[in-house]
Amino acid sequence: KLSRRLEMIMELIPEQSRLADIGSDHALLPVAAVQTGQVVQAVAGEVNPGPFKAAAKQVAEAGLQHQISVRCGDGLAVIEPGEVDVITIAGMGGSLIASILDNGQDKLTDVQLLILQPNVGEDILRRWLMEHGWLLTSEKILEEDGKIYEILTAVPEQEDARISSRLLYENQEWPSSSGDGNFTVTSELLLRMGPWLLKEPTPVLMDKWNSELDKLHSILNSLSASKLESAEAKSSQLKQEIAQIKEVLACLQ
Angle at alpha carbon of residue 93, lines to 23 and 61, rounded to 5°: 20
Residues 125-144 that bind ligand SAM (CB under 6 A): none
* 55 is a site residue for ligand SAM (CB under 6 A): no
**Could you tell me if 148 and 208 are in contact, meaning their C-beta atoms sit under 8 angstroms apart?**
yes
Interface stretch with ligand SAM, choices 43-51, 125-133, 152-160, 214-222 (CB under 6 A): 43-51
Residues 6+ apart with CB under 8 A from 72: 45, 46, 47, 49, 52, 78
Q: How far is CA 83 from CA 47, 69, 76, 189, 246, in A?
A: 19, 12, 11, 36, 45
How large is the greatest C-alpha to C-alpha distance in the chain, in angstroms? 64
According to the binding rule CB under 6 A, does residue 201 interact with ligand SAM?
no
Q: Considering the complex, what minimum distance in angstroms separates the CB of residue 58 from ligand SAM?
A: 12
CA distances to 13, 41, 116, 190, 233 from 204, rounded to whole Å, are 23, 34, 19, 17, 32
**Is the separation of the CB atoms in 190 and 167 below 8 Å?**
no
Q: By CB under 6 A, how many residues form the interface with ligand SAM?
A: 17
Whichever of 31 and 135 has its CB closer to ligand SAM, that residue is: 31
Window 83-122: residues binding ligand SAM (CB under 6 A): 90-92, 96, 100
Closest to ligand SAM by CB, 51 vs 94, is 51
Q: How far apart are CA 82 and CA 225, in angstroms?
A: 56
- Using CB under 6 A as the binding rule, whether residue 150 contacts ligand SAM is answered as no
Torsion on CA atoms 79, 127, 212, 189, rounded to nearest 10: -160
A 10 A CB-CB count for 164 gives 15
| Short-list 33, 32, 27, CA closest to 58 | 27
Query: By C-beta, is 24 or 165 nearer to ligand SAM?
Result: 24
Q: Pick from 23, 94, 104, 194: which binds ligand SAM (CB under 6 A)?
A: 23
Least spacing, CB of residue 147 vs ligand SAM, in Å: 12
168 with 135: CB under 8 angstroms? Answer: yes
Which of 13, 34, 45, 70 forms a contact with ligand SAM (CB under 6 A)? Answer: 45
Could you tell me the smallest distance in angstroms from the CB atom of residue 148 to ligand SAM?
15
Residue in 17, 25, 154, 244 binding ligand SAM, rule: CB under 6 A = 25
Cβ closer to ligand SAM: 32 or 64?
Answer: 32
Q: Which is nearer to ligand SAM, 22 or 193 (CB)?
A: 22
User: Does residue 88 contact residue 9 with C-beta atoms inside 8 Å?
Assistant: yes
Does 48 contact ligand SAM by CB under 6 A? yes
CB of 104 to ligand SAM, least distance (A): 9
- State the residues that interact with ligand SAM by CB under 6 A: 6, 22-25, 45-48, 51, 74-75, 90-92, 96, 100
